[in-house]
Amino acid sequence: MPYYRSVGEVPRKRHTQFRQPDGSLYAEELMGQEGFSSDSSLLYHRAMPTAIVAAEAFDPPAWSRTPNRPLKPRHLRTHKLDTAGADPVLGRAHLLANDDVRISYVTAERPSPLYRNAVGDECLYVEAGALRVESTFGVLDATAGDYVIIPTSVIHRLVPVGEEPLRLLAIEATGHIGPPKRYLSVRGQFLEHAPYCERDIRGPAGVLVEDGTDVEVLVQHRRGWTKHVYANHPFDVVGWDGHLYPWAFSIHDFEPITGRVHQPPPVHQTFQGPNFVICSFVPRKVDYHPLSIPVPYNHHNVDSDELLFYTGGNYEARRGSGIEQGSMSLHPSGFTHGPQPGAAERSIGIDYFDELAVMVDTFRPLDLCDAALTCEDTGYAWTWSGRQA
């Protein structure tokens, strides 16, 4: 994580006696990445975090993936998916996946079970509604436009808040997600050229202590899923400190980097993961060279698939293609993509784009999952030519 936080009660020195009011020791837990050589936090539990009383295999909702064959650009309409009434974890409709990342969408109206992803970090983007993330680190609130990063193996529960259904884009990694390394100093501080900084990041503000016994927690791990039953509720942490914790960042706090001519997608990069990046396209002043063409040029990223999730405003380059709120466009490696016919000419003289989108670029091909095929606009690939297949 970018910086150190301390929440609740912790002893002055780590790995020293820290006693409860009855004289017994709090149970100290180190949660760390990459063995003992990267970010970590120390949590202090009232009960042993290792005490489970049962474990059994668990079967989540079934899904499968198939290669993008025949190779072509795809348009997915996530608002056509039927996930109403689902919870934000088990109700996810898996859309695209490879061995590095899985991308899902859900419209949720009820809390998730207690859940731990032991495969990798999750990046959740709130398209609409409000979300409360309850975890061993406390409570973190998120609203529309927020990214929420949940580190690997944090026990948490996702709770939709308010009357509006929660619309959530879920990006599940097989490793860790964080700010691009080029934004950070060797000691982890955001540098001056970074489009956001520590002031824009929110973490849990206080501890969350719940009582309970025989508490079920679903664990997604590298060999499937398991249901653990904990002797005591895992939300029993009285304090923690360190650099590893769930955190939130609003896409509206991303400061766009602009230029006299069109800037390439890396200026929009917000996070990096294992073999993929996440970018934010936000409202911004656009190219101001007197002969500039503000929309993107035709481009072919030969090493990556490009997925764009449209979450607000007007996307000039895609006008006339059927793209709408909640759409996803997949432009795979092996296909040259660019603005729709007429978009380049129409954009000349425009000095501001009012658009909001989240992009995921992967360096391994994305396969199509079952739900993607149920919400696909099958005519999208032919919109550049104006002909039907």
CA distance 362 to 275: 6
310 annotated to a ligand binding site: no
Residues in the chain: 389
Dihedral class, residue 93 (left if φ above 0, else alpha if ψ from -120 to 50, else beta): beta
Is residue 300 among the annotated active site residues?
no
228 marked as part of a ligand binding site: no
Q: How confident is the model at residue 372, as a pLDDT?
A: 97
Sorted by where each starts, the structural domains of the chain and their CATH numbers stand as 50-68+80-238+245-251 (2.60.120.10), 255-382 (2.60.120.10)
Query: pLDDT (tens digit, 0 to 9) for every residue of the chain, 389 residues total?
Result: 569 999 999 999 999 999 999 999 999 999 999 999 999 999 999 999 999 999 999 999 999 999 999 999 999 999 999 877 799 999 999 999 999 999 999 999 999 999 999 999 999 999 999 999 999 999 999 999 999 999 999 999 999 999 999 999 999 999 999 999 999 999 999 999 999 999 999 999 899 999 999 999 999 999 999 999 999 999 999 999 999 999 999 999 999 999 999 898 899 999 999 999 999 999 999 999 999 998 888 888 889 999 999 999 877 667 767 889 999 999 999 999 888 888 889 989 998 899 999 999 999 999 999 999 999 999 999 999 988 76
CB-based contact 104:158 (threshold 8 Å): no
* pLDDT reported for residue 300: 85
Answer yes or no: pTM beyond 0.85: yes
Q: Does residue 337 have a known ligand-binding role?
A: yes
The reply, when asked if residue 331 is annotated as ligand binding, is: no
Cβ neighbourhood burial of 132 (10 Å; 0-12, 13-18, 19+): middle
> Catalytic residue among 193, 262, 268, 331, which?
262
DSSP states along 284-297: EE---STT---SPP
Name the token pair of 4. Answer: 């150190």
